[in-house]
Structure 1
Amino acid sequence: MRVLLSASGTRGDIEPALGLSLALREFGAQVRVCAPPDFAGRCAELAVPLVPMGPPIPALRGARASPADLLDYADRWPAAQFDTIPAAAAGCDAIIATGITEIAARSAAEGLGIHYRYASYQPTSLPSPHHPPMPRMPGDQPAPAAIGNRLQWEIDALGWNAQFGAALNSGRATLGLPPVANVRDHVVTDRPWLAADPILGPWPDSPGLDVVQTGAWIVPDERPLPAELESFLDAGTPPVYIGFGSMRVPNGIAQVGIEAARAHNRRVLLSRGWAELALVDDLSDCMAVGEVNHQALFTRVAAVMHHGGAGTTTTAARAGVPQVVVPQMMDQPYWAHRVTDLGVGTACESPAPDLASLSAALDTALSSTTRDRAKAIAGMVRTDGAALAAKLLTDAIS
C-alpha cells in the first residue's frame, strides 16, 4: 500500500501527519508527505520522505508576520497544492489530507481514481449545530451569540467559496474534472476523520456528518533533554513552563508570565518559539530553551502556560500537568474551554493578559484540586490514535 499525506501549516500541523506516517509504516505501507519545505529536517529525522510543497514559510514567523501575510500565503496555497499533489500521488493507493487549507487533495485523488480521506485535528473545523466555526485568521472575532450556529456555518461555507472557490475549480479544470459548488463540504466530505482525543475534544453527534474519531496522532519522542536543561530542572522545584509555539504573541507576555510565576515562588522555563521570547533578567530562577522534547519535559514542570494548540494541549494532558491557556487564534479558544471544563487547568480570555489575570490563573492551575484532576485525566487520554487511523485506512483499501 502506498499513501500520500498532504499537510500544511506550522509544526503543530505537520507533526500529527508524521505520527500517522510512522503508524502506517508499521502496517507495511510506503508513505510520503507533501508539506512546506521548512520541515525537511524533521522529516529526515523520522526517515519520512518529503515532497516539498509551496514556498518556505519564514516570512510567517513570529511578530514579523502580519495578518495580510498570512492571508496572502493562504490565497496562494491551493495553486501550490495543484502543482504538487497530483504528481506526488502518482502510483499511490490513497491520499490523506489534513488542515483547513487542504484544497487540492480530493481533486487529485478523484483524478487518479484512488481513496481519499480528510482529517481534522479539532472538532471546530467540522460543521455541527453544537459549536460555531472557529475564527480562521488572526484578529477575527467570534460572531455575536445572537447568530445561531447553523447560520454561522452557512456563512462559513460562503467564506470558503469566496477564498478558495476559483482556485479549486481552476485546478480541477486542469485535471479534466467538473467544478465544485461547495468548497468546504467537498474537502471535508460527509465522513471525515477527527484526529483528536475523545476525552479532550469529543465529537457531539451531528446530522450530515458521520465523523470517525481516531484519537490524536502522536509521534513518540525518545530524545533526551539537553544536559543544561536537566541541570536546571534538578537544581530546584518544578518550574512553570511558558511557551507559545509558532504564535505571534503580544509584546510583554513573557515578562508578565515570568512575574506571575515569581509571585507564586515558582521558577520559569521559557520557550523562545517563533515569537523569540527572551528572559527579562539574568536571575538564576529562569531559563530559556529552544525546541525540546515536550513529552519528557512536561512531566517535570509544575504547570504549562501555552497558546492552546491541539498538540500542546494533548501533550500536557498526557503528562498530567495543570495548564494555563492563553489562546491567540483559530481552534485555541476551543481548547482553552476544554481545559477549563475538564478541570485540568484554566484559561485567560485576553490574548494579552495582565499580571493580575495570569496570577489568578496560576492560583487555579497550581492548586491541589487541579493537579489531582490533571493526573486523573492523564490516564484517560488515548495514545493509539495514529495506529487506529492506520488500521482504518488499511482495512478500507484492502
Structure 2
Amino acid sequence: MADHLAVTVPLSSIERIQIYVNSARRSLPQIQAETGADYILNGTLYNTRTFAPVCHLKVDGTVLCNPDYSVMGYAWDDGPDIFMDSLPDPARRDYIACTPLIVSSKPLSKLTYDSGQGGKRGRSVIGIKGDRLSLYCTRDGGSMARTPEALRDDLAAAGWDSAVMLDGGGSSSCWFRGNELISDSDRKIHDYILVFLKKEELPMGVKTYSAKKDGSTYLSTNFRVKEFACNDGSDTVLISEELVNLLQKIRDHFGDQVIINSGYRTSTYNKQVGGATNSQHVKGTAADIVVKGATPLEVAQYAEYLQPNSGGIGVYQSFTHVDVRSSRSRWDNRSGKEVVVSGWPGYQEASVDNIPSSAHKEGVAWALENGILRGNADGDLMLSQPVTVQKLCTMMKRLAKHLGKD
C-alpha cells in the first residue's frame, strides 16, 4: 500500500475544480463513484465535533467559513483559472485556505498552524508548479510523514511555486485516477477538492470501462476487460472494439491463449515506460501480445493478412505489437532498435482456387490432349506456378491454332 502519492496536472487539461462538501459523510470511494472525478484530495481543517470548517472556505459562491483574518490560499471560478490569492476574496466563486507553505516561489520562514497540526504526520497539499496544478498526499504514520517545516522544504526543493498544506494526519487521503491512499478509513472528512479533466473525444469504437467494476466482463469469447487494464493499477480502461475483434481472430487462428502484456496505458504510465508521445496504447487501440505456441513473427504475419492496408504491426524479441489505427505502420524491433519495414508477408490462407477440383482436372486433361498446355523438360506441368505474359501468349496462340483461327 502506497505511503505517498503525488501528481501534477496541466491547467490546460482541467475542465473544472469542485469543492465537495461531504454533508452525507460518505467515504472517499463512494464520492469518487458518485462524481467520477479524476483526482480527489481531502480539503481544509474542520471541527470533528460540529463537522464545520474552521478555515476560509467558499463553495459555489457561498461562504462556509470566514474567520477574522486574511491568509494566502487558492481561489478560482472554474478550475483552470486557479491561483494563489489573499483570502477572503469576494470576487471569486470558490476558495480554500489552511496553512500556506510557499508563496510566490518563496518558502515561508515562519509557518502558522495549530499545535495539533505539528509533528510528523500524514500530509495533503495543493499547489502550483509552473503551468500545472500539483496535488500531494502522504499516509499518516507512513515513511513519508513530515513536519510542516520538512514538508515545506521538500516541496520547495521540488520546484513548487506555491503551496498550501491542507488538513492532515488521519484526514490525509486521496484518489488519483485509480490510485488510492486513505490514512483512516473510519474518518468522515468534511470536504474534498475534486478535479475533473477535459474529456478527449475517443476514437470510433473505443469504450471506457472500470477495471474494478467491469474487470470480469467478457468483451468477446476469450477476452475480458481486466486483460486490457493499465499496468499501473489505475481503474479506467479504454478498449477499442475493433482491437478486441482483431485479437479474437488471432486467438481463433492459433487456437491457443493470447497473453496481453500491455493494453491500455494512462498518459503518465506511458511516459514512465518510454512509450511514444502519441501512443496507440493511450487511445485504447493497441496491445502487446504473446501467443502460446507461435513466434512474434508468425503472429505479425497473420496480423498482416488480417489488416494488410491499415493498423500498426511491430515485431519485438518476445512479443508482437498490434493496433487498429486507420493508417498503416510496420516496424521491426527485434534488434532493440526500431527499423521501419514495408510489411510482414508470409501467411496466405488456403484458397479453393489452389485446391484441384474435378472441373480443374478435366480442364487440364483437355489442354494437354489438345497441345495447349505442355510441361517442362521433366514433365512438370507447374500448375501452381504464376503464369508470365510470355507463357500466356504462347498458350493463346496454341488455342487459336486448335480452333482453326491461326
TM-score, structure 2 length as denominator? 0.26
**Which one has a larger percent helix, Structure 1 or Structure 2?**
1
Higher strand proportion: 2
Say which one has the larger Rg.
Answer: 2
| Greater relative contact order (CA < 8 Å, ≥ 6 in sequence) | 1
TM-score of the two chains, using structure 1 as the length reference? 0.26
